[in-house]
Amino acid sequence: MLSAIGIGPDERRRILGVSIALSEAEVHWRAFLESLQARGMRGVEYVVSDDHSGLRAARRAVPGGATWQRCQFHLARNAIHHAPNAEIRKRIGRQLKPIWTADDLARAETALTELVASYRDTAPKLAAWLEKNVPEGLAVFTLPEHHRKRMRTSNPMERSVQQELKRRTVKVRVFPGEDSLLRFVSAVLVEIDEKWASDNKAYLKWECQDA
């Protein structure tokens, strides 16, 4: 199930769309993104996602010049999988935190350089992976400071949408076909979207953009 949320001019989160696909291959992600554009999605400036190869290729083709932020949460989890031993796996997430929470891009890059250097001799493969991949999680520093906390990961999608869908679909267990699954998850997403729309509190304050 492919889905997307967005933050519009009204400062609220909205469900942009959903699609049932056989895989996360580029052809499916691209068709999904094109369907959003066909329905009127315009002016995408910033995209947060995990690093699925299919989504990466589709994102480059469809939203075009939008800034891409690789989810920092998933990056940290990926770093754990690239750690060569249990001792490093226990501490690598903590060592990445000063990079994610730096005051600005220059300090984040300095912290990354120091972390890479610390593993250059003892864990060279991890050092190379960090040097290549972690910069993809630093695009958030192009945003105003007030926006960074909510725009650095795809956790809002994971927690607010995916977890609710998993909770609801697991009770059904088996769907007779794609159409029935799509109808069910669409109904759940409509509930979530209506809840967000009725919330008087802005998710992001655009007035902070120039602050």
Q: Which one has a higher pLDDT value, 116 or 159?
A: 116
- In one letter, which amino acid is 40? G
pLDDT digit string, tens, across residues 117-149: 999 999 999 999 999 999 999 999 999 999 999
For the entire predicted model, the pTM comes to 0.89
Question: What is the domain partition of the chain in residue ranges?
Answer: 2-70+154-208, 73-139
State how far the Cα of 187 lies from the Cα of 21, in Å rounded to an integer: 18
Does pLDDT of 211 surpass 50?
no
Structure confidence at residue 135 (pLDDT): 98
pLDDT digit string, tens, across residues 10-22: 899 999 999 999 8
State the pLDDT confidence band at 173, using cuts at 50, 70 and 90.
confident
The listed range with the strongest mean pLDDT (2-11, 129-138, 163-172) is 129-138
State how far the Cα of 63 lies from the Cα of 23, in Å rounded to an integer: 20
Structure confidence at residue 65 (pLDDT): 84
Is domain 2-70+154-208 in CATH 2.60.40, yes or no? no
